[in-house]
Amino acid sequence: MATSAPASPLSFLALLLLLASTSVTGTTNNPADELVAAVNSNRTGHKSSSLFANPGLGCVALEYIKAYKGQCGDVGGNMRPPNSSFTEIFAPDCGVDAKSLGPITGRLIACQTKYVKPDEAFGLLVRDARSLEILHDKGHREVGAATVGTDGGSPYFWGVLFSSGGANGSFSFEGGVPKPNRPGCYSGANDDCSAAAVRAPAGRGLLAAVSAGVLFVLAYL
Ligand SMILES: *[C@@H]1O[C@H](CO)[C@@H](O)[C@H](O)[C@H]1NC(C)=O
Ligand SMILES: *[C@@H]1O[C@H](CO)[C@@H](O)[C@H](O)[C@H]1NC(C)=O
Ligand SMILES: *[C@@H]1O[C@H](CO)[C@@H](O)[C@H](O)[C@H]1NC(C)=O
């Protein structure tokens, strides 16, 4: 490597262009990033601002849907993790400084047995007047999205959390570097996360029976 000829100006330019295009799209192979892209595209299409994809908020969104422990019925019942979970569980698990947590100004959670592509997941999360209202709220400034499967696969959870926190310094990682959180994928960290990473390792099958028959449920703030 050290003895190889210097790269030609042309390949250097190609590399620069490649780097530029990666940072512009801000996505790699990550369904949560794609969901944020769908959220922002729909917002800007309706004259709302594009939201900052805060990786700390993305990780918290992943913790949030994991807190349902695979129970789709709880999503449908509009149950939510207790607020204390943010400081006591979600922030520490993510390596996010609990003092930097911003206010949550909206949430969209969906759960279903089948894994779908992010665009379809967007359609599940935003499917009525109330969810559209939450999506387009002018009070949001940043967004975090996540997806995770349960017990080897189904059911699959999708979650979007919105916050009015300033993009600068809210939901900040201790040490400044996003912490990987598997199973599952979250937005904003610019990390590769294939659909395979969404699936939780198979456990003892305790939750398998729960998912049977559940097609789809949606919850919002
Ligand atoms: C935004 O999403 C809603 C619900 O899925 C859809 O009906 C609408 O056409 C979308 N708008 C744009 C501009 O994409
Ligand atoms: C929990 O947080 C939500 C949203 O931030 C808020 O609307 C609700 O009042 C809080 N509940 C409690 C019990 O503090
Ligand atoms: C962001 O926060 C840092 C440290 O808290 C501060 O120095 C900087 O001025 C802030 N930038 C903006 C644009 O608010």
**Could you tell me if the CB of 126 is within 6 A of ligand 1?**
yes
State residue 104's pLDDT score.
96
State residue 10's pLDDT score.
46
Mean pLDDT for all residues in the chain: 85
Is the pLDDT at 211 greater than 90, yes or no?
A: no
Closest atom of ligand 2 relative to the 83 alpha carbon:
1
Is the pLDDT at 13 greater than 90, yes or no?
A: no
State residue 212's pLDDT score.
52
Report residue 130: phi and psi, to 5°: -65, -45
Q: What's the CA-to-centroid distance between 42 and ligand 1, angstroms?
A: 6
Beta-strand relationship, 104-112 and 52-53? unpaired
Q: Which CATH class is domain 27-220?
A: alpha beta
Q: Nearest Cα to 172, choosing from 207, 131, 213, 144? A: 144
Report the pLDDT averaged over residues 44-66: 97
| Rounded percentage of the chain residues whose pLDDT exceeds 70 | 81
For the chain, give every domain's residue range. 27-220
The protein residue whose alpha carbon is closest to atom 11 in ligand 3 is: 168
Report residue 48 CA to chain centroid gap: 20
The protein residue whose alpha carbon is closest to atom 8 in ligand 2 is: 83
Beta-strand relationship, 185-186 and 142-150? antiparallel
Report the pLDDT averaged over residues 6-19: 45
Structure tokens at 201: 């390792």
Answer with the residue of higher pLDDT: 21 or 78: 78
State residue 22's pLDDT score.
42
What single-letter DSSP state applies at residue 89?
Answer: I
Q: Encode 163-184: b = buried (16+ Cβ within 10 Å), e = exposed.
A: bbbeeeebbbbeeeebeebebb
Q: Residue 83: CB partners within 8 Å, gap ≥ 6?
A: none
Q: What's the CA-to-centroid distance between 167 and ligand 3, angstroms?
A: 10
Kindly indicate the confidence band of residue 199, based on its pLDDT and cuts at 50, 70 and 90.
confident
Do the beta carbons of residue 111 and residue 75 sit within 8 Å? yes
Task: Give per-residue pLDDT as tens, 96-115.
Answer: 999 999 999 999 999 999 89
Q: Quote the CA–CA distance of 69 and 219 in Å, as a whole number.
A: 16
Task: Give per-residue pLDDT as tens, 166-195.
Answer: 767 899 999 999 988 999 999 999 999 987
Q: Quote the CA–CA distance of 221 and 132 in Å, as a whole number.
A: 12
**Could you tell me if the CB of 169 is within 6 A of ligand 3?**
yes
Do the beta carbons of residue 33 and residue 40 sit within 8 Å? no
